[in-house]
C-alpha cells in the first residue's frame, strides 16, 4: 500500500503570501493519479485538483498542482482569507495524506 506524507504539518502565512504544500508517496503514483482536497472546519472536503495538475470545476486559478512519480506540490499563488484550511492529497480512490493545515500568521 502506498503511504502519502505531507509537509509541512502546519504552514503559517499571511493573506497575499504564496503557499507551497508538498505530498510525497512511498512508491510511484501511477499516471499521476493524485488529487488534492481542501477542508474547512465543520465542512466536507472539496476537490481542488485531480490528475496532479487539473483544476476541478469552479476552482480559482490561484490554485495549481504539479509533480509526478513520488513528489507532488499544491501551490496557492496568493492566499485569500477563505484559503485558510486543511489540505489533503490522495492517491485516487484510496490513501489520503495526513494533511497540511494552512493557518493565519
Partner 1 sequence: QVQLVQSGAEVKKPGASVKVSCKASGYTFTSYGISWVRQAPGQGLEWMGWISAYNGNTNYAQKLQGRVTMTTDTSTSTAYMELRSLRSDDTAVYYCARSSNYRTWVSWFDYWGQGTLVTVSS
Output the smallest distance, CB 40 to partner 1, in A: 12
Q: CB of 43: closest distance to partner 1 in angstroms?
A: 8
Query: Would you say 17 or 45 has its CB closer to partner 1?
Result: 45
Q: Which lies closer to partner 1 via its Cβ, residue 17 or residue 95?
A: 95
**Residues at the site binding partner 1, with contacts judged by CB under 8 A:** 33, 35, 37, 39, 44-47, 50-51, 56-57, 88, 90, 92-99
User: Which CB sits closer to partner 1, 84 or 88?
Assistant: 88
* Contacting residues for 58 by C-beta, under 8 A, at least 6 apart: none
- Give whichever of 1 and 61 is closer to partner 1, judged by the CB atom: 1
Distance CA 39, CA 47 (A): 9
How near is the Cβ of 78 to partner 1 at its closest, in Å? Answer: 25
Contacts of 21 (CB under 8 A, 6+ apart): 6, 7, 11, 73, 74, 75, 76, 87, 100, 102
Amino acid at each position: 500500500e502506498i503511504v502519502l506524507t505531507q509537509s509541512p504539518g502546519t504552514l503559517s502565512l499571511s493573506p497575499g503570501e504564496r503557499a507551497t504544500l508538498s505530498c510525497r508517496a512511498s512508491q510511484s503514483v501511477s499516471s499521476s493519479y493524485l488529487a488534492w482536497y481542501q477542508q474547512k472546519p465543520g465542512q466536507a472536503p472539496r476537490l481542488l485538483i485531480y490528475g496532479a495538475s487539473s483544476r476541478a470545476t469552479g476552482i480559482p486559478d490561484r490554485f495549481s498542482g504539479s509533480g509526478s512519480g513520488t513528489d507532488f506540490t499544491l501551490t496557492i499563488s496568493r492566499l485569500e482569507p477563505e484559503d485558510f484550511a486543511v489540505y489533503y492529497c490522495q492517491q485516487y480512490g484510496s490513501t489520503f495524506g495526513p494533511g497540511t493545515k494552512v493557518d493565519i500568521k
